[in-house]
Amino acid sequence: MRILGEQEANGGHGRSKEDHAATVPSATEQMHRKWNELLQEMRVMQTGAQIVTAFLVILPFQARFGELNHYQVTSYVVLLVFSALISALMLMPVAIHRSFFGQDLKEATVRKGHILVRWALALIALMFAACVVFITIVVLHDTVAWIVGSISALTILVMVIGVPLVLRRREVESEDASTDRSQQE
By the 10 Å C-beta count (0-12 exposed, 13-18 middle, 19+ buried), 122 is classed as middle
Contacts 24+ apart (CB under 8 A), 143-152: 152/128
Dist CA 177 CA 163 (whole Å): 21
* Residue 11 pLDDT > 70: no
**Mind listing the pLDDT tens digit for each residue in 140-152?**
877 888 888 889 8
* Residue 2 pLDDT > 70: no
Contacts 24+ apart (CB under 8 A), 44-49: 45/90, 45/117, 45/120, 45/121, 45/124, 46/87, 46/90, 48/124, 48/128, 49/83, 49/86, 49/87, 49/90, 49/120, 49/124, 49/127
**Mind listing the pLDDT tens digit for each residue in 40-85?**
887 788 888 888 888 888 888 888 888 888 988 898 899 999 888 8
Binning pLDDT at 50, 70 and 90, where does residue 4 land?
very low
* Residue 116 pLDDT > 50: yes
In terms of phi and psi (left: phi > 0; alpha: psi -120 to 50; beta: otherwise), the region of 104 is: left
| pLDDT score of 91 | 81
The pTM of the whole model exceeds 0.95: no
Dist CA 90 CA 106 (whole Å): 18
Position with higher pLDDT, 105 vs 7: 105
| pLDDT score of 1 | 41
The answer to whether the CB of 10 falls within 8 A of the CB of 20 is yes
Domain boundaries, the chain: 6-184
For residues 165-182, give the mean pLDDT: 79
